[in-house]
Structure 1
Amino acid sequence: MKEQTKIFLVSPSPSTFTERDLEALRREYLVREAVISNYRGGNGLKRSLLITFEILRGVLWADLTYSWFAHNHSYLAVTLANLLGKRTIVVIGGYEVAREPEIGYGALLNQKLAKRVNYIIQNADHILAVSEFNRREILELGDHRHVAVVYNGIDCAQFSPGEEKDDLVITVCQISQSNIALKGLDTFLETARHFPDLRFAVIGRDLDGSIEDLRRDAPPNVEIISPTSQGELLQWYRRAKVYCQLSYRESFGVALAEAMACECVPVVTDRGALPEVVGDTGFVVPYGDAEATAAGILGALQSDRGKAARARVEKEFSLEGRMQKIRNIIEERPV
């Protein structure tokens, strides 16, 4: 009987991305996990030594190291794995290869971190890009032949439509000062003023108190909601007719794909991977253009593309499809 492959999964903090991969990998492999944000307390040196020890222990135990995001934790994991002759897979989420000085976004704006990102891309055995857009950005940093597009996976059994849609327009993101421009929340509020009799909602966890600023700026027809559970978020997806992702840039857009799986008609900007995710199932508008966004929302309200949006997610972005590609990479088969 073939011995199970041992995988050490390293991530900076808990997220739906890592949890979905962890759960799926554990069905077929022996998996240990290290979440860097769990290592708290003590001074900076003590914490750094503890993290280094845990990553070293994981790399020694595993046949393969699987890192989410090309950051300091994956730099350490790739460095140690290379020294020990162990295989490495790194998922690039997008921030790591971004350089957007206009909004102060991207790891490449930090010289030290940019060098580490470059090292990871050049030295990991496999780099997983979450979109074709993401892959092109990675390849601009160097000639790495082992970059494969493996789209984020959506659980279409969980994210499924409800019985009836309301005339409701939503957007979902973590709420912070930096995300107001990055996620286009200012444009979302401005666009809502074009439809005083239509319900809009911004749904997301407040990170820095900006939710109160957003509520003060919002017109009366916009609700600002901080959901208490995944189930509550799912109900918003199921009720909304239209989902907006008005971002300055996105390397994929998990919330967008979740909403599409619930048969929301998408309205997205022409930035990053958003047109790639939506395909021909939604409406694409220029970033920061409230007039064009209003026209897109009006078209979405009158359209019947919700079922096509879900069908696209089922075909292109299923959890099963993602895990089959990852399985092929782990087993060293063609992707």
Structure 2
Amino acid sequence: MGQQNEQQKKIFLVTPSPSTFTKRDLEALRQEYLVREAVISNYQGRNGLKRSLLISFEILRGVLWADLTYSWFAHNHSYLAVMLANLLGKRTIVVIGGYEVARVPEIGYGALLNPKLAKRVNYIIQNADHILAVSEFNKREILNQCERRHVAVVYNGIDCAQFNPGEEKEELVITVCQISRNNITLKGLDTFLNAAKLLPDLRFAIIGRVLDGSIEDLKRDAPPNIELVLFPSQDEILRWYRRAKVYCQLSYRESFGVALAEAMSCECVPVVTDRGALPEVVGDVGFVVPYSDVEATATAIVKALQSDGGRVARVRVEKEFSLEGRKQKIQSIIEENPV
């Protein structure tokens, strides 16, 4: 590390729940700094007032200890962290994931549909020292809320050493997401299912954790050539990425698309919609189709299976979305002089 502990910056990382991308940031920060972490979901199950007091106390204690507070997602926890840090003269970085600056009433999606939460998101954007966007699309949505000088695009990082291709690809088309009623539209599962119906000789798989009873609708509507892989482990998902030749992300909107980039790192040829950041992530190494256009999606899947674009998809992830690239950008922001 090259520094004595007393000289290292102290970072307080606040996150609503443990996730792959927050863990990757935590590991990267710990390579250079002293880091404490607060995970808000650890307080689930407690009564409302006691839970709020415990969370508030942990955030206050962390902000007092740290030189800089690093929050994932602009939500209640980061609202409190930014407010306390400003009062105490501490620096703040907030990563905006996408939901926080979305307002999509036609599918009931986005924090900005909630007036109270919208006010808190705007406070965070206006008062954090640095806002990190996960894509150029995400940055544009943030700037629609507030003209800010300190919004930097720092793409999500993919562990290309972990997400590497297997020995041989199969004629297999997959998508990965949490399975819920909202996600049938949001993640385009209905389009995926209908494209599979148009291509009965091909194998498809929907892979993900089940959140509600919508899985019964999918089971009822799924053609025989779709396999449903429920509650997979990370290792299981990785094995599917390695087997599949084509990965579909047919979403209504995405602010980045971590599963898409992971699949590309495993040399899956991507087929995505023309929404959100998906064309930005894919660049010129995949196939882009209009959202909910089943025939265009089926045609693109056939072309993707016939292509040999898996290797260039991986090269794109290695170049644009590496863990090291994200780490370096975040570190350069942390090492800037206080604003």
Shift of 1:142: 1.0
Cα distance in 1 for partners of 2:39, 2:271 equals 34
Q: Does 1:97 align with 2:121?
A: no
Q: Report SS of the residue matched to 1:136.
A: helix
Q: Say if 1:131 and 1:151, in contact at 8 Å, map to a contact too.
A: yes
Q: Report SS of the residue matched to 1:33.
A: strand
Q: Where does residue 306 of structure 2 map in the other structure?
A: 302
Q: Where does residue 200 of structure 1 map in the other structure?
A: 204
Structure 1: which 5+ runs fail to align?
none
Q: Does 1:88 align with 2:92?
A: yes
Equivalent of 2:26 in 22, 28, 35: 22
Q: Does 1:65 align with 2:69?
A: yes
Q: Where does residue 111 of structure 2 map in the other structure?
A: 107
Cα distance in 2 for partners of 1:119, 1:182 equals 27
Mean Cα displacement is larger for which, 11-20 or 311-320? Answer: 11-20
Cα distance in 2 for partners of 1:215, 1:17 equals 30
One-letter identity of the residue aligned with 1:81: A
Q: Does 1:161 align with 2:171?
A: no
Q: TM-score, normalised by structure 1?
A: 0.98
Q: Where does residue 143 of structure 2 map in the other structure?
A: 139
Structure 2: which 5+ runs fail to align?
none
How do 1:132-281 and structure 2 match up within 5 A? 132-281=136-285
One-letter identity of the residue aligned with 1:16: T
One-letter identity of the residue aligned with 1:145: R
Q: Say if 2:210 and 2:231, in contact at 8 Å, map to a contact too.
A: no
Cα distance in 1 for partners of 2:20, 2:237 equals 13
Q: Does 1:32 align with 2:39?
A: no
One-letter identity of the residue aligned with 2:329: K
Cα distance in 1 for partners of 2:42, 2:242 equals 33
Q: State the Cα deviation string for residues 257-278 of structure 1 (Å, max 9, x = none).
A: 0000000000000000000000
Give me the CA root mean square deviation: 1.0
Cα distance in 2 for partners of 1:213, 1:59 equals 46
Cα distance in 2 for partners of 1:148, 1:305 equals 30
One-letter identity of the residue aligned with 1:101: P
Q: TM-score, normalised by structure 2?
A: 0.97
4+ residue runs of structure 1 moved beyond 3 angstroms? none
Residue identity (%): 83
How do 1:278-289 and structure 2 match up within 5 A? 278-289=282-293
Cα distance in 1 for partners of 2:47, 2:200 equals 52
